């Protein structure tokens, strides 16, 4: 009996200690709703420590698709939103959910596909033509299908190409409803084409037989914007600390830090804040 | 080397390396799941035991419902807790969305039906055998439930471990309510999902092996403890 009691007491003590351990040092922090492309490309891992060192403010990033990130801001669950879908961002600000929107940086999209290239698009610089060829060849194409910024851009490019997806999509067009990484995994396993942001592609390991086939079209430009969730709508928003983050991102220091992020010597994001 | 080989090597490397970041992620996983199990057990075991020793109108419906809840998808629990805790939701003013506390709540809700249903089953079987005896001693439902819970304490450990396994291994709920924030709410399962997203399959699978090793170690300890205690009692 004594042994049982001792063991039970020890177990209770262990569990109690586990549960009662203090949370990681309560410090100043903001919640930033952002996109999978900024998180999975590794940019935040490079950028945020510099900001925290400069200001003492910790940044908690929740990485979602652009549509979902904006929704998180709309519900008041984030202080700052950092995304890439200009039309949706402007709507977000116009509806009064966000304030102080600023340009931060851009990167570009690329069309990735199998090296065997059944639709013969390799080397092209014209995204509209490339998509036309893919649709004509009915070559497998993986779509994000998740209302992310990349998904919105993809739909714009199909429109530019004059391809009416609703009428023409068949089994070759596969909507995965997933983030950039999972979509890349899917494309890699079925040797399909897809639209990816360059950052996530460069940081992606499971490439299989995929390679960049189309790049360099001016239309593939992919700008990122940052904005504060409107404190007038959500009074608990950390206005001062959120603004400090926005100010730092667009400051010469923050911009230099963005330009300094490289993978294999290649720069991923290009600063674009206006002075 | 193939992916599985690479993953095993990665797992060994991770465990041997004792990487500080990995240790923190493992510690958070254990802490969140242990807390949710304590909360879930304290609510679910008395509930399951009472459901076994009492009889009331609608009891069969209650039992069937409870068993059906075992199939509750974790992502649905996550979504419900998210909507509750979101600033736009009824409990938003507490501001605990995207914190470990939110993850504990989601996991506790997730394991509650599991622990309650298994407890009810175990107690119900014992109740059939001891019912007359307990009644003749004048024990009411609460006393009977308590007595049976104590009698079956060794079997109940297995139920708690099953609940812990469910909690520590689920990803859908903690991803939604925790947000997989680096250093704050990133646990083993969400880290595995993230590395899979990055296409780093060996690292993802390696983390999976680490998780498996931890759960295995816990089960070994629990098993040995139970054996030692039972032997001691003769």
Please report residues of A whose CB lies closer than 8 A to that of B35.
15, 18-19
Compute the mean pLDDT over every residue in chain A, rounded to the nearest whole number. 90
Joined together, the tokens standing for residue B182 give 């680096």
Please report residues of B whose CB lies closer than 8 A to that of A21.
31
pLDDT grade, residue B234 (50/70/90)? low
Please report residues of A whose CB lies closer than 8 A to that of B196.
181-182, 185
The percent of residues above 70 in pLDDT, for chain A, comes to 90
Question: Do A206 and B30 count as a contact with CB atoms less than 8 A apart?
Answer: no
Write down the pLDDT at residue B85: 96
Residue of B nearest to A37 (CA): B198
- Closest CA–CA distance from residue A8 to any residue of chain B (Å): 10
Question: Do A77 and B180 count as a contact with CB atoms less than 8 A apart?
Answer: no
A1 in any annotated domain: no
Write down the pLDDT at residue B23: 87
Q: Are residues A256 and A189 in the same domain?
A: no
Pairwise CA distance, residues B109 & B40, whole Å: 7
Q: Are residues A97 and A230 in the same domain?
A: yes
Question: Do A61 and B198 count as a contact with CB atoms less than 8 A apart?
Answer: no
A22 in any annotated domain: no
Question: Do B88 and A19 count as a contact with CB atoms less than 8 A apart?
Answer: no
Residue A207: CATH number of its domain: 3.40.190.10
A19 in any annotated domain: no
Q: Are residues A117 and A195 in the same domain?
A: yes
Question: Which of A193, A220, A247 is the last residue in one of the domains?
Answer: A220
pLDDT grade, residue B7 (50/70/90)? confident
| B121-127 average pLDDT score | 93
A18 in any annotated domain: no
Q: Are residues A138 and A87 in the same domain?
A: no
Please report residues of A whose CB lies closer than 8 A to that of B200.
205-206
Q: Is the pLDDT of residue A7 over 70?
A: no
Q: Tell me the pLDDT tens digit for each residue of A135-160.
A: 999 999 999 998 889 999 999 999 99
Q: Are residues A150 and A190 in the same domain?
A: yes
Q: Tell me the pLDDT tens digit for each residue of A188-232.
A: 999 999 999 998 998 898 999 999 999 999 999 999 999 999 999
Q: Are residues A112 and A185 in the same domain?
A: yes
Q: Is the whole model's pTM more than 0.80, yes or no?
A: yes
Strand partners for B60: none
Strand partners for A141: A173, A193
Question: CA–CA distance from A160 to each of A131, A223, B212 (Å)?
Answer: 9, 18, 49
Pairwise CA distance, residues A132 & A146, whole Å: 22
Q: Are residues A194 and A129 in the same domain?
A: yes
Q: Are residues A174 and A206 in the same domain?
A: yes
A240 in any annotated domain: yes
User: Is residue A204 helix, strand or coil?
Assistant: coil
- Closest CA–CA distance from residue A134 to any residue of chain B (Å): 25
pLDDT grade, residue B1 (50/70/90)? low
Q: Is the pLDDT of residue B201 over 90?
A: no
Q: Are residues A35 and A132 in the same domain?
A: no
Pairwise CA distance, residues A203 & A109, whole Å: 14
Q: Tell me the pLDDT tens digit for each residue of A64-106.
A: 989 999 999 999 999 999 999 999 999 999 999 999 999 999 9
Question: Do B38 and A19 count as a contact with CB atoms less than 8 A apart?
Answer: yes
Q: Are residues A33 and A159 in the same domain?
A: no
| B82-95 average pLDDT score | 93
Pairwise CA distance, residues B92 & B74, whole Å: 21
Range of the domain at A73: 29-107+223-271
- Identify from B33, B40, B75, B87 which residue to disrupt to test chain A contact, counting A C-beta atoms within 10 A and taking the largest count: B87
Q: Is the pLDDT of residue A22 over 80?
A: no
Q: Are residues A102 and A112 in the same domain?
A: no
pLDDT grade, residue B222 (50/70/90)? confident
Q: Tell me the pLDDT tens digit for each residue of A33-62.
A: 999 888 888 899 999 999 999 999 999 999
Full set of structural domains in chain B with CATH: 3-233 (1.10.3720.10)
Write down the pLDDT at residue A41: 86
DSSP state of A22: P
Write down the pLDDT at residue B228: 82
Q: Are residues A86 and A128 in the same domain?
A: no
Please report residues of A whose CB lies closer than 8 A to that of B181.
60-62
Candidate from B97, B194, B198 with C-beta closest to A77: B97
Question: Do B31 and A18 count as a contact with CB atoms less than 8 A apart?
Answer: yes
- Closest CA–CA distance from residue B114 to any residue of chain A (Å): 20
Number of CB pairs, chain A paired with chain B, less than 8 A apart: 87
A23 in any annotated domain: no
Candidate from B179, B194, B201 with C-beta closest to A62: B179
- Closest CA–CA distance from residue A68 to any residue of chain B (Å): 11
Write down the pLDDT at residue A4: 56
The percent of residues above 70 in pLDDT, for chain B, comes to 99
Q: Tell me the pLDDT tens digit for each residue of B44-87.
A: 999 999 999 998 899 999 999 999 999 999 999 999 999 999 99
Q: How many domains does chain A have?
A: 2
Joined together, the tokens standing for residue A64 give 């979602």
Q: Is the pLDDT of residue A261 over 90?
A: yes
A38 in any annotated domain: yes
| B209-222 average pLDDT score | 88
A208 in any annotated domain: yes
């Amino acid at each position: 009996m004594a042994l049982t009691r001792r063991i039970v007491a020890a177990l209770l003590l262990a569990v109690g200690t586990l549960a009662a351990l203090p949370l990681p040092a309560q410090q100043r922090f903001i919640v930033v709703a952002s996109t999978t492309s900024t998180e999975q490309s590794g940019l935040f891992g490079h950028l945020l420590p510099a900001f925290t060192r400069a200001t003492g403010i910790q940044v908690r990033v929740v990485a979602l698709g652009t549509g979902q990130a904006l929704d998180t801001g709309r519900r008041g669950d984030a202080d700052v939103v950092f995304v890439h879908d200009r039309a949706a961002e402007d709507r977000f600000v116009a509806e009064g959910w966000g304030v102080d929107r600023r340009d931060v940086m851009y990167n570009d999209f690329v069309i990735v596909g199998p090296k065997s290239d059944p639709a013969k698009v390799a080397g092209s610089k014209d995204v509209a033509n490339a998509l036309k060829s893919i649709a004509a060849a009915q070559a497998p194409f993986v779509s994000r299908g998740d209302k992310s910024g990349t998904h919105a851009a993809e739909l714009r490019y199909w429109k530019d190409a004059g391809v009416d997806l609703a009428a023409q999509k068949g089994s070759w067009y596969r909507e995965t409803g997933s983030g950039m990484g999972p979509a890349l995994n899917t494309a890699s396993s079925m040797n399909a084409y897809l639209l990816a942001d360059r950052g996530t592609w460069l940081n992606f390991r499971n490439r299989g037989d995929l390679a960049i086939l189309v790049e360099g079209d001016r239309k593939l430009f992919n700008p990122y914007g940052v904005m504060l969730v409107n404190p007038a709508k959500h009074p608990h928003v950390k206005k001062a600390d959120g603004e400090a983050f926005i100010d730092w991102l667009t400051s010469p220091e923050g911009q230099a830090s963005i330009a300094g992020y490289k993978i294999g010597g290649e720069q991923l994001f290009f600063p674009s804040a206006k002075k | 080397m193939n992916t599985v080989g690479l993953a095993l090597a990665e797992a060994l490397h991770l465990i041997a390396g004792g990487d500080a970041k990995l240790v923190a992620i493992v510690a958070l996983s254990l802490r969140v799941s242990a807390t949710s199990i304590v909360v879930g057990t304290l609510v679910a075991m008395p509930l399951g035991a009472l459901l076994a020793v009492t009889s009331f109108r609608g009891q069969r419906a209650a039992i069937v419902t409870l068993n059906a809840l075992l199939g509750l998808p974790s992502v649905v629990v996550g979504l419900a807790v998210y909507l509750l805790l979101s600033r736009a939701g009824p409990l938003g003013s507490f501001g605990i969305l995207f914190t470990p506390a939110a993850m504990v709540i989601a996991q506790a809700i997730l394991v509650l039906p599991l622990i309650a249903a298994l407890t009810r089953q175990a107690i119900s079987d014992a109740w059939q055998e001891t019912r007359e005896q307990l009644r003749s001693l004048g024990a009411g439902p609460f006393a009977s439930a308590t007595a049976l819970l104590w009698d079956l304490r060794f079997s109940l450990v297995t139920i708690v471990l099953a609940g812990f396994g469910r909690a520590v291994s689920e990803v859908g709920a903690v991803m939604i309510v925790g947000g997989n924030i680096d250093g704050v709410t990133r646990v083993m399962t969400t880290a595995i999902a993230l590395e899979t997203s990055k296409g780093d399959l060996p690292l993802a699978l390696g983390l999976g092996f680490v998780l498996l090793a931890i759960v295995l170690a816990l089960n070994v300890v629990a098993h040995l403890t139970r054996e030692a205690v039972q032997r001691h009692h003769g």
